[in-house]
Chain A
Amino acid sequence: MPITASQADALRELGNIGAAHAATTLSTMLMSNIEMDVPEISLVDISRIHEYVGDDLAALVLFQVMGEVTSGGYLLLYIPKRSIVRLTNVMLGMTDPDRDLTEMDHSALLEIGNIMVSAFLDGTAGLLNIVMLPSPPSLVIDMPHAAIETILAAQEHSDINEVVIFRTELKSDEHAISSSIFLLPNEPMLNEILSMLETLISPGS
C-alpha cells in the first residue's frame, strides 16, 4: 500500500486536527500547557517496527476504531514509564514520584486514554464528516513492541507485511510528562480515509 506525498500530507493534516483536540483535553485535565509536535507518518516494514517502538516499559491504552469506517484499525495512547506516575499523580492529586502503581492508577490511565482518544476521533471524524468511536479500552503496561506486534498478528486475515504508523507526541514541560498517540489503520480503513480526504480537497466538492 504505497502512499503518495500528497496523501501523506492530507493524513498529516487529519492527524494534526485529531491531536490538537486530544492536546486540548490533556491540557484541561492537567491544567497545564501542552506542546504538540508535527505528526510523523511512516510506512514501515514489519521487520523494522522495532526501530519505531522498542522494549522500554510503557503504559499503552488501546482502542479499536469503530463507527462509519471499516473496523480493525487501532488507536493507542502511549505513555513512557517515567511519565506514568507523574501523569496519574497530577490526575489523582498525589505527589510521591516513586510509589508503586495501584488500581487507581490503572483507572486513571484508562480514563485519560478514553478522554484523549475520544477527542482525537471527534476531531478527525468531524473533518471527514462521519462518526468514529473508540471501542472500550484495554490497558497494558509492558513492552510497546510486544503489544503492537500482537495487534498486527491478530489481523491475520490480511497477513500484512507493512503498516502505516502515525504518531504525534504531546508533552507537558511543567509536569515533565510525555505521551504519544499512535494510529495504526488497517488497509481497508486507510483506503477509506484517503478517499474521503481526496473528496474533501478535490475542487468542486
Chain B
Amino acid sequence: MDLQGGEGESPTVIVGIGEYCVGNGVMSCIGLGSCIGLILHSSDRQVGSLAHVMLPAINPGKQERPGKYADTAVPLLLKEMIAKGCRRSSIVVKIAGGASMFKNFAGTLNIGERNVEAIREVCTGLNLSIVGDDTGGVVGRTIFYYPKQQGKIVVRRGDGTIVEI
C-alpha cells in the first residue's frame, strides 16, 4: 500500500503536535500516542483539515496554538473549512489516536481517553457527526489523510496493522 501520497504533486504535509493544516493535499500525523489526529472533511468540495490535538482544553486566557486543544481545534477547523467555501452540512469528522501507552503510569497518563472524550463532546455540541474513529488501545498510530480520495484516512498502528477509516 502506498502511504506517501503518490499522486506526484505537492508533498505530504506533516502536521506536528499542536499544528493544523487546511487544503486538499495529502496530510499526515507521525506517531500519534495520546494525541488525536482530528480531521474535518467536506464531501462535496474534497477539501479538508487536520489538527494534531494534544490536550482536552485550553487554559483560560490563552489564545496561541488553537490546534493544540480539543475545545479550540474543532471550532477552528470548522471555521477554516467554511471560509474555504464548504457547506457546513457537508462536513464530517474523523478521529484517530488517543492511546494509553503506559501501563505503569496509568494514573497520570490516561490523557488519551480524556482527549477522545473532549473531542466527542465538542462535536456533539456543534452538531458534527464523527463518521470515522480509530481511537484508544495501547498502540501508537501514524495517519495519512487524502482529501481528494473521498477523505480516505490510512492508519498504520504500532503493532503493524493498517486500517482505513
Which residue numbers of A lie inside 8 Å of B, CB to CB?
Answer: 45-50, 53-55, 57, 62, 64, 136-138, 140, 142-154, 156, 159, 161
Contacts of B33 in A (CB 8 A): 143, 145-150, 153
Cross-chain contact A57 with B111 (CB below 8 angstroms): no
Q: Which residue of B lies closest to A148 (CB)?
A: B33
| Shortest distance between the CB of B16 and any CB in chain A (Å) | 3
Contacts of A159 in B (CB 8 A): 55, 59, 62
Cross-chain contact B18 with A146 (CB below 8 angstroms): no
Contacts of A55 in B (CB 8 A): 30-31, 140, 142, 156, 158
CB < 8 Å: which of B104, B115, B158 contacts A146?
Answer: B158
A49 to B31, CA, bound (A): 10
Cross-chain contact A153 with B140 (CB below 8 angstroms): no
Instruction: Tell me if B109 counts as interface (CB < 8 A to partner A).
Output: yes
CB < 8 Å: which of A48, A62, A142 contacts B139?
Answer: A142
Cross-chain contact B31 with A138 (CB below 8 angstroms): no
Cross-chain contact B102 with A54 (CB below 8 angstroms): no
State which residues 76-111 of B face A: CB under 8 Å.
99, 101-105, 108-109, 111
Which residue numbers of B lie inside 8 Å of A, CB to CB?
Answer: 14, 16-19, 30-35, 52, 54-55, 59, 62, 64-65, 99, 101-105, 108-109, 111-112, 115, 138-142, 156, 158-160
CB < 8 Å: which of A46, A140, A142 contacts B17?
Answer: A46
A166 to B109, CA, bound (A): 22
A143-B109 contact in complex given A149-B31, A149-B32, A150-B33, C-beta closer than 8 Å: no
Cross-chain contact B35 with A153 (CB below 8 angstroms): yes
Contacts of A136 in B (CB 8 A): 104
Contacts of A142 in B (CB 8 A): 101, 138-140, 158-159
Contacts of B108 in A (CB 8 A): 154
